[in-house]
Amino acid sequence: MEPSTKLEVLAEFLKSAGISFWHFDKEMSLISTNIIKTEQNLLARFFAVGGREQTLYQYGLQHRVPALYSDKATLLWLAVPKHANGMLADLYAIGPVFGSKTSEQSLLQALQAFRLPPELSCTAERLRSSIPVIPHALLMQYGVMLHLCLTGERLEHTDFQIISPAPHSFGLPSTKKHVPSRNGTYALEQKIFRAVEEGDVNYIHPMEAYNQETGFLAKGNPLRHAKNELVSCLTLISRAAIRGGLPEDTAYALFDWYVQTGEASENVAEIYQYIQDAFHDFTMRVHKYKTGHGRSKEIQECVSYLELHPNRHVTLDELARTLGYNKSYLGGKFYREMGMTVHQYDLQIKIKQAGLWLLHTDKSVQEISDELGFSSSSYFSAQFRKITGQPPTDYRNQAS
C-alpha cells in the first residue's frame, strides 16, 4: 500500500473515533484535515492560539521523531514531523484530545489564561463535548502508526519527545504543608528509585510503596492527596533518572507532562496509575540510554530482547531469527561489543533477576529456578554461586 493511501486510511480511522487529524506543509499552511467543514474553522483557530502552532512548528524544524504536547488548557496534541533531505517537509498533528475527563469549569479556567477572543472563549461546553477523551498511551500508539506510515520506521513510545509549555519545577505544591514519616516505606522507596537509576526494566513496581490513606497529604481531600503524592513521587523518580544518565531536559519535560496530566484528572485511581506509568516510562528511557551508548543498533536490540525475557532461555538462533539477522554475523558482533557470548549475557541477566527476587520476595530457591527456566535448582544454585560468589540462601540471609 502506498504511503499516501495509508495516511488516508489512518485519517478516516481517526475521524471515525472523533479525533482530528491535520496535515501542514513546511510553512505550517494547512494542506488537509479530516474535520468536517462546520468544525474546521473553530478548531483551526483554537489550534493557533496560545502558541501551539508555533511551538509544534519549531519542534518539527529540529526533530524527526513524534512529540506529545500538553497545553495549559489540559488538551493533548501529537506532532509528527516528516523530513526530506534533512529539512522539514511536512508536519502532521493529531488532536486536540483530553487525556482524562475534564470538567467544563476546569476547561473554562484554563482557557482564561489564553485571553481568547469572545467567540472562542464561549465555546468551552462545545469543546468539552466534541473533543474525545483518549488516554495518552493510546494517543502515542496512533503516533507510532502515523510515523510508520510516513517513514516505514517502527518506534516505541519511549522514543517520543515530550514538549512542555511551562518551565519545569521540582518543588512540591504549596498545598502540601507537612508530610509525616511513613514507617517501613523508606527502604522500599529506595529500591524503587534505584531501579529507575539503573534502568532495571524487570523490576516490579509495588503500589504499597505509596501511601493512599485518605487525607495523608491533603486532609479530607483524597483527590488532592493523590495529586500531591504523584508530584512527590515524580520528583524523586525524575532525580533518580537523571542520576542514571537520562538527559536533564528529557527528565524535566517528562516531569512536567505527568504533573499536568495528573492535575487534569478527576479520578483518584487514574492518578495512582500515572505513578506506575511514570515509573515504567522513566525506567525504560534510562535503560535505553544506558544500553544505547557504544553499542550498535543490532546489539541494542539483542540486549533489550534478552533483558525483557529473563524467564526464558534465549538462544543465538532465536535472537537471529526474531530480529532478522544472520546467526554467525550476530554472534560475532555480540561477542566483539559485549565481551561475552549471548548465553553468558543471558545467564547474567537471570542471576541478576534471581538476586532481586531473593532480596525482595519470599520466593523459594526452587520457585526462582523454575521461573527463570533453569533445568534444576542445583544447576541454578551452582551458576548463582559462580557469578555472585555466594549460594542463593547465603545471599538472601546476608541481606536480612
In DSSP terms, 76 is beta-bridged to 70, 97
Measure the CA–CA gap between 302 and 355, rounded to whole angstroms.
22
Please give the pLDDT value at position 180. 42
Question: Residue 179 has what pLDDT?
Answer: 40
Confidence (pLDDT) at 102: 52
Amino acid occupying residue 291: T
Q: How many CB atoms lie within 10 A of CB 367?
A: 13
Give the pLDDT of residue 347.
Answer: 92
3-class SS of residue 84: strand
Provide the residue type at 68 as one letter.
Answer: L
Q: By C-alpha distance, which of 93, 88, 86 is closest to 34?
A: 93
Distance, in Å, from the CA atom of 384 to the CA atom of 88, rounded to the nearest integer, reads 52
- Find how far residue 163's CA is from the centre of its chain: 13
**Length of the chain counted residue by residue:** 400
Identify whether the C-beta of residue 38 lies closer than 8 Å to the C-beta of residue 112: no
The pLDDT assigned to 28 comes to: 84
The span from the CA of 385 to the CA of 75, in Å, is 53
- Residue 323 is predicted with a pLDDT of 87
pLDDT of residue 182: 45
pLDDT of residue 176: 37
Strands in 87-98's sheet, in edge-to-edge order, are 30-33, 21-25, 87-98, 75-84, 67-70, 161-163
From first to last of the 400 residues of the chain, give the pLDDT tens digit.
566 778 888 888 888 888 889 898 988 888 888 877 656 665 666 666 556 677 788 888 888 888 888 765 567 788 899 988 778 899 998 988 876 655 455 555 555 555 555 555 555 556 666 778 777 777 888 888 898 888 888 887 677 877 755 444 333 333 333 344 444 456 666 777 788 888 887 776 555 445 544 444 455 677 788 888 888 888 888 888 888 877 777 788 788 888 887 887 777 777 887 888 888 888 888 887 776 665 677 887 888 788 778 888 889 999 999 888 899 999 998 988 778 899 999 998 899 888 888 887 788 999 999 989 898 999 999 999 998 888 999 888 876 5
Kindly provide the residue ranges of all beta strands, DSSP E only, lying in the chain, ordered along the sequence.
21-25, 30-33, 67-70, 75-84, 87-98, 161-163
Here the cell at position 148 is 510508520
Of 19, 89, 84, 27, which is closest to residue 54 (Cα–Cα)? 27
DSSP letter, residue 128: H
| Cα–Cα dist 79/336, whole Å | 39
Secondary structure letter of residue 375 according to DSSP: S
All three cell numbers of 13: 480511522
DSSP alpha helix (H) spans, the chain = 3-16, 37-48, 52-62, 104-112, 118-121, 124-130, 136-151, 186-198, 222-243, 248-264, 268-292, 297-307, 316-323, 327-338, 342-360, 365-371, 377-388, 392-399
Instruction: Give the pLDDT confidence score for residue 317 in this predicted structure.
Output: 92
Residues with Cβ within 8 Å of residue 112, at least 6 apart in sequence: 121
Torsion of CA 390, 391, 394, 396, to 10 degrees: 100
